[in-house]
Each structure stands twice: as structure tokens, then as C-alpha cells.
């Protein structure tokens, strides 16, 4: 606790509730608390939009911090600086006196500093016989120290939002590129479809995307592009499958002319029955282990640390990973139905692992939704293992671990 009584400004400056609140908060600083002043300043620069402080005010605060001789901001090192306006202006890049006074008042209103005015309004310090400062009058940085954790969390939140915004813009760019090239292929190859209407719809979405926007504003455009991408891709896939089916039927007709048809007809029911039985066994086994996983969270975070950048409060347990993966799912353009289908087959924890693995190599995945659907179909048929995907991620980072089944 800092034993600082409530003080009022000198002269005609009025006492404000913001000043009173900052002083009250400064009194609640834990004893022995220390923070690197430049790290704290960097957090504040990142979180300036949340705190409500301008670049010019930050330049003045930077100048105030420079008058502290030590890098550690603590009560033992002194929290009051007392430069003259001339000295402060020089370190604030020659800021005009009137501008300097205005930004000092803004720093007080934002609750980052408080005034500790002397009886005559001058800034100075008193020293004892040993040369140690016993009292100082000027600007107290105690509120800045008291708000260290708040500023750190605010900076982390801004970084997470910026990362999410960058990712959603990347996904939109990939969708735009893929849709344009797929439509170009469809038109060039005379594939049946209303491609003129699809192109008009595509350009309408693209032209409406704002250059500066928040995540909430861009998410509808991402969903629209993802749906359009899926529509175009499915139309092309259906065309390719139709061509392949026609070719296979032609081949089968030629082969059956020299084959024993009775033997084939009799064997087909048995093959189909065996496949259905195998599929039911796989689905039953998956439902039994639906909500559990054999992989420790520490291994997942070692293999896929990138997903932690999207967690505002970090990832300390499976619930944090699942919550973050659900959020990242939207940024990747994975539809809720695709995600729910994966959860039903893989389980919610293993689906979160898959999304974390997809995130770390998202640059090489054209469509995250189609990729997850493919993995889900393979898992439903017993042809996909989350463990193999996790081990591949570990190997790519130079880690060599061996999973031991429980």
C-alpha cells in the first residue's frame, strides 16, 4: 500500500472525480510491486484505443517516464517526477507550452498520472543530509503502476483482435481468389450453370466490403464469400463426378461382356453388408469416446501454439481451447453445420485439436470448411486419426514424441 493522502491541485485548477479516482487507485498498489516502465509504456501504446489516450499524450508520458532514473517502476525507486515545463518540452520533441499543459491535463483525466502540487505550485524535491529524496512535488506515476495488469490485459485484447482481423481478411482474400478463378474455369470449359448470375453476386459482395471495418462488420461478408465458394466448388465437383461416372459406366459395360455376371450379382449383397457392419462399428466406437481425448493439453499447445494468440485470457484448460477453437472456426469460414458434424463424429475436444492444427498451416489450405468436411468423412469411415495429425504438427516443429495408448 502507498501511504499517499488525497491531494488537490494548486491555484485555479479544479479537483475532478477522475483525479480523485486515480489517487484512490494509486493507494491500492501492492507493497513491493515493480514493473518495467518501458514495458508498461508499450502496453499502453498498444491499448491506447481502449484507454482513450492520444499519440501526443503518450509522447508527454514518455518524457515523464524518462525522468525516472531506474527502469523499474516501484515505490522504492520513487514515483514522483518534478521536471520543469522547459525540460519536459525538450524531451517531448519541442512541444509548445500550451499543448504540453493540455496533454498533461488529459493524462490526469485518463487516470494515468496524478498531480502532487507543492504549496506554491512549483515542482521540486527535498533531500536529507545523505542526499536522499524525502519528499517530491510534481507528477505522480503511481496510477500507472496500479493499472499495470489492466494495461497488460488491454494490450493482449488489442493484439488478439488485430490477429483475428488479419486472419479474417486473409480468408476473404483466399475466397475471392478461388471464386474468381473457379468461375473463370467454368466459363472457359462451357460447364453448365448460371455463371453470369454467380459472377454478379460475387462482385456485389466484393464491392460492398469496407476498407476499414471491425471483425463484426466483416463476418457477414466472410460467410457470404464462403457460401459462394462452396456453391461454385460443388457445381464443378458435380460436373467432374458426372463425367467420371459416365466414363466408369462405359468401362463397366465393356468389362461385363466377358465376365460372369451371376457371380458378381451374388457377391454384391455380401460386400454391402460387410461395409455397413464395419461402418456401424466405427460409429459406435466414436460415440463411446465422443467427449474424451487421450492427448494432453500441453502436447496440443506445444504442437499448435498459434491458437493461443486468439485467446484473450490465455489457454489454461480444455474449456479455454474449445472456446477459442469455436471462435477461430468463424474466422476460418467454417460453417456451424460443418463444425457440428465434426463434433458429432470426432468429439468436441478432438475437433478443437483439429482446428488448432488447421490454423497453424492455414496458408496451405484453400478452403477450411471443405478440409474439415473431408477429415470428418474420413473419420466416419475410420480412415483418419487426430493423433497422426497432432504428431505431424509436432514433427514439423522438430519435436519427436511417442503417443502411448492408455
Q: Are 125 and 35 in contact (CB under 8 A)?
A: no
- Fold entry, domain 17-146: Arc Repressor Mutant, subunit A (1.10.10)
Helices 148-188 and 318-331 meet at what angle, rounded to 10? 40
Give, for all 406 residues of the chain, the pLDDT tens digit. Answer: 444 555 655 455 555 656 566 555 666 667 778 889 999 999 999 999 898 899 999 999 999 999 988 888 888 778 888 888 899 899 888 899 999 989 998 998 888 888 887 766 687 777 666 666 667 788 888 888 888 899 999 999 899 888 988 999 999 999 999 998 888 888 888 888 888 888 888 889 988 988 888 888 898 999 999 999 999 988 888 888 877 665 555 555 555 444 444 433 333 343 344 334 434 443 444 444 444 456 788 888 888 888 988 887 888 888 889 989 988 888 888 888 899 999 999 999 999 999 999 998 888 888 888 899 999 999 998 888 888 888 888 877 664 444 333 3
Beta-bridge mates of residue 127: 133
- Cα separation, 6 vs 266, in Å, equals 95
DSSP letters for 331-377: HTT--HHHHHHHHHHH-HHHHHHHHHHHHHTGGG-S-HHHHHHHHHH
Q: Are 22 and 114 in contact (CB under 8 A)?
A: yes
Q: Are 221 and 173 in contact (CB under 8 A)?
A: no
Q: Which one, of 75, 78, 69, lies nearest residue 133 by Cα?
A: 78
Q: Are 178 and 227 in contact (CB under 8 A)?
A: no
Q: Side-chain half-sphere of 119: how many Cα atoms within 13 Å?
A: 1
- Cα separation, 139 vs 233, in Å, equals 63
Q: Which one, of 83, 80, 43, 77, lies nearest residue 63 by Cα?
A: 83
Beta-bridge mates of residue 133: 127
- Cα separation, 175 vs 169, in Å, equals 10
- Cα separation, 8 vs 108, in Å, equals 12
Q: Going by C-beta distance under 8 Å and a sequence separation of 6 or more, which residues neighbour residue 246?
A: none
Q: Which one, of 26, 36, 35, lies nearest residue 1 by Cα?
A: 26
Give the helix/strand (H/E) hosting 134: strand 133-140
- Cα separation, 145 vs 40, in Å, equals 8
Q: Are 142 and 26 in contact (CB under 8 A)?
A: yes
Q: Are 206 and 177 in contact (CB under 8 A)?
A: no
- Cα separation, 326 vs 346, in Å, equals 15
What does the block give as the cell for 126? Answer: 527535498
- Cα separation, 99 vs 108, in Å, equals 14
Every domain of the chain and the residues it spans: 17-146, 159-259, 291-396
- Cα separation, 44 vs 5, in Å, equals 26
DSSP state of 78: -
DSSP state of 125: E
Helices 386-396 and 348-360 meet at what angle, rounded to 10? 30
Q: Going by C-beta distance under 8 Å and a sequence separation of 6 or more, which residues neighbour residue 80?
A: 116, 125, 136, 137, 138, 139, 140, 141
Provide the Cα torsion 114, 117, 123, 124; round to 10°.
Answer: -100
What pLDDT, on a 0 to 100 scale, did the predictor assign at position 38?
A: 93
Amino acid at each position: 500500500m502507498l501511504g499517499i493522502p488525497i491531494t488537490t491541485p494548486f491555484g485555479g485548477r479544479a479537483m475532478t472525480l477522475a483525479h480523485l479516482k486515480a489517487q484512490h487507485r494509486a493507494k491500492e498498489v501492492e507493497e513491493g510491486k515493480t514493473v518495467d516502465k518501458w514495458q508498461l509504456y508499450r502496453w499502453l501504446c498498444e491499448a491506447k484505443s481502449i484507454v482513450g489516450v492520444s499519440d501526443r499524450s503518450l509522447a508527454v508520458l514518455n518524457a515523464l517516464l524518462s525522468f525516472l532514473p531506474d527502469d523499474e517502476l516501484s515505490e522504492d525507486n520513487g514515483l514522483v517526477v518534478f521536471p520543469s515545463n522547459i525540460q519536459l518540452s525538450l524531451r517531448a520533441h519541442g512541444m509548445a507550452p500550451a499543448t504540453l499543459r493540455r496533454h498533461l491535463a488529459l493524462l490526469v483525466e485518463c487516470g494515468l498520472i496524478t498531480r502532487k502540487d507543492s504549496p506554491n505550485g512549483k515542482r521540486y524535491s527535498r533531500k536529507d543530509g545523505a542526499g536522499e529524496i524525502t519528499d517530491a512535488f510534481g507528477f505522480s506515476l503511481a496510477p500507472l503502476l496500479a493499472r499495470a495488469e489492466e494495461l497488460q490485459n488491454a494490450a493482449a485484447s488489442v493484439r488478439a483482435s488485430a490477429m483475428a482481423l488479419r486472419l479474417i481478411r486473409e480468408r476473404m482474400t483466399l475466397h475471392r481468389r478461388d471464386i474468381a478463378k473457379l468461375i473463370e474455369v467454368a466459363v472457359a470449359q462451357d460447364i453448365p450453370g448460371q455463371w453470369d448470375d454467380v459472377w454478379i453476386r460475387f462482385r456485389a459482395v466484393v464491392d460492398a466490403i469496407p476498407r476499414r471495418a471491425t471483425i463484426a462488420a466483416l463476418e457477414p461478408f466472410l460467410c457470404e464469400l464462403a457460401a459462394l465458394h462452396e456453391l461454385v466448388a460443388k457445381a464443378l465437383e458435380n460436373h467432374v463426378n458426372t463425367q467420371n461416372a459416365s466414363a466408369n459406366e462405359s468401362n463397366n459395360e465393356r468389362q461385363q461382356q466377358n465376365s460372369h455376371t451371376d457371380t458378381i450379382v451374388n457377391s454384391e449383397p455380401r460386400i454391402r453388408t460387410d461395409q455397413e457392419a464395419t461402418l456401424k462399428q466405427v460409429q459406435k466406437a466414436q460415440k463411446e469416446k465422443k467427449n474424451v481425448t487421450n492427448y494432453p493439453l500441453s502436447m496440443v499447445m506445444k504442437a499448435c501454439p498459434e491458437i493461443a494468440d486468439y485467446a484473450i485470457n490465455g489457454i489454461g484448460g480444455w474449456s479455454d481451447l474449445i472456446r477459442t477453437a469455436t471462435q477461430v472456426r468463424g474466422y476460418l469460414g467454417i460453417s456451424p453445420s460443418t463444425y457440428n458434424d465434426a463434433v458429432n463424429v470426432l468429439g468436441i475436444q478432438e475437433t478443437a485439436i483439429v482446428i488448432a492444427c488447421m490454423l497453424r498451416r492455414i496458408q496451405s489450405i484453400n478452403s477450411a470448411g471443405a478440409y474439415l468436411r473431408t477429415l470428418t468423412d474420413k473419420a466416419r469411415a475410420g480412415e483418419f486419426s487426430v493423433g497422426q495429425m497432432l504428431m505431424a504438427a509436432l514433427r514439423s516443429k522438430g519435436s519427436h514424441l511417442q503417443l502411448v495408448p492408455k
